[in-house]
Amino acid sequence: MHKFQKGNKKAFEELYKRYSNRIYAYFMRLFNNDQQRAQDFTQDAFIKVIDKKLSFDTKRKFQPWLFTIATYMARTSFRDEKLTEDVSDHENKNPYQPDQDLSNIKSLVRNNLHVLSYAQKSVFILRIYHDLSVKEVADIMNCSEGTVKSRMYHATQNLASQIRQIEAHGVDTNKTHYGKGI
Amino acid sequence: MEKVFDQNENNLIELLESKDFSQLSPDESSYVLEHMSKEDYILRRSVIVETAQDNDTPSLPSSIDKAVFAYLEENDDTPIIPIWQSKGFAMMLSAAVAAILVWIILPFKDVEIIKGETKETTVYQTKIDTVFQEKLKLDTIVVEKPQIVYVSNTPKAPQNQMCTPIEIKQSNPSVAQSSQPAIDISNIDLSNKGSSAKSDNNSLVLSPVNP
């Protein structure tokens, strides 16, 4: 990033190669596998990196800074659409995905992240999928480490509850209404 | 505004992230069971563990790559740093200032200004001189020299034997040791000698001296 700040475009290309798919995956999970939206946000995130390169502190790591930009963009988007913190809205809007494998918790979690609030989802994705430390997540989310742990606790609680509910209802599409989208 | 979090939640999530239910100590398991069932713990633990192994990341379409790089080319707003703000210029300026200071200060450092008799005259005299310094360096040199010791071969008489001192009589040098003549001069033939020898009364000269 320091080289990119000096005007080295090759350095940016290297950063892009290294982090673009990670940011894309982050947005995909945040937006419940909405590809088009995730692509747009990924593109915008890297445009912000280009625009704000001089504001980056080279003493810090690049990845948390990039995730901070991405998280801020997503939070703004959720606020604009009044979708933040309202879990009940998602449950009724999102169609069920018939390809869910009930025996595979990995797949169940991936397809049911929408049951989490924005804050819980962001923390869970950063902590579990991207393997960031509690402190790094707290810095990105601009909150305390205790809050990160609390959100993680409720995220796992909600996901476990959702999985139990799916298992209880089986794969009957008429009884459950979960799926992708916001 | 951050939500108030429960310390129990923090403790439980730390256990959920780090240990299976079977790995919990008795105290930990009893603590966990106060807040959730064993099945709930196992399910939540598996949610964390199995999700962490989900490495399926989608690939970003190349159209996004092109759009980002096109934006980079169009908006290359890398600031042009003025030459007086660049590091190279600062270094050159520092070197020049240092050189000027050296040029100004150093020539006067070892020069004494002696004012002449008139006010207008100033004489510069350098104080630099050559100083010879002699150093006496002392050192110890060890020379090894073989020493010959002479040992007397004279056998020593046992102490219990008394030696008899030899009495030496002092002889009179003017008196002959013996009354007998050393050379028989009675038969000396003087016939072939000169008159001088013949006239000498050799017999008297060579005759033994009677004490």
Digit-coded pLDDT (tens) for B124-157? 776 777 778 888 888 888 888 888 888 877 766 6
Cβ-defined contact of A163 to B75 (cutoff 8 Å)? no
Residue B80: per-residue pLDDT: 58
CB nearest to B54's CB, from A54, A110, A163: A110
Q: What is the pTM for the complete model shown?
A: 0.58
Asked if A133 reaches chain B (Cβ–Cβ under 8 Å), the answer is no
Hunting for tokens 């020898």 — which residue is that?
A: B197
More confident residue, A48 or B182: A48
More confident residue, B169 or B127: B127
Cβ density class B48-81: b for 16+ within 10 Å, e for less? bebbeebeeeeebeeebbebbbeebeeeeeeeee
Q: How far apart are alpha carbons B55 and B19 in whole angstroms?
A: 21
Cβ-defined contact of B54 to A163 (cutoff 8 Å)? no
Q: Which of A44, A45, A55 is nearest to A4 (CA)?
A: A55
Q: Mind listing the pLDDT tens digit for each residue in A50-86? A: 888 777 887 888 888 999 999 999 888 887 776 544 4
Residues of chain A found within 8 Å of residue B2, distances taken between Cβ atoms: 143-144, 147
Asked if B75 reaches chain A (Cβ–Cβ under 8 Å), the answer is yes
The pLDDT of residue B1 is above 50? no
Residues of chain B found within 8 Å of residue A54, distances taken between Cβ atoms: 79
Residue type, A155: A
The pLDDT of residue B211 is above 50? no
Q: How far apart are alpha carbons A163 and B73 in whole angstroms?
A: 47
CA of B21, closest CA in chain A: separation in Å? 15
Cβ-defined contact of B54 to A150 (cutoff 8 Å)? no
The pLDDT of residue A157 is above 80? yes
How are beta strands B111-115 and B122-126 bridged, if at all?
antiparallel
Q: How far apart are alpha carbons B116 and A94 in whole angstroms?
A: 105
Q: Mind listing the pLDDT tens digit for each residue in B18-36? A: 999 999 999 999 999 999 9
Cβ-defined contact of A51 to B48 (cutoff 8 Å)? no
Residue B58: per-residue pLDDT: 77
Among A74-78, B65-69, B134-138, B164-168, the range scoring the smallest mean pLDDT is: B164-168
Q: Which of A89, A120, A100, A115 is nearest to A32 (CA)?
A: A115
Residue A146: per-residue pLDDT: 92
Residues of chain B found within 8 Å of residue A21, distances taken between Cβ atoms: 57-60
CA of A142, closest CA in chain B: separation in Å? 10
Helix (H, G, I), strand (E, B) or coil at A149: helix
Asked if B88 reaches chain A (Cβ–Cβ under 8 Å), the answer is no
Residue A154: per-residue pLDDT: 93
- Kindly indicate whether the ipTM for this predicted assembly is greater than 0.85, answering yes or no: no
User: Predicted confidence band at A147 (pLDDT cuts at 50, 70, 90)?
Assistant: very high
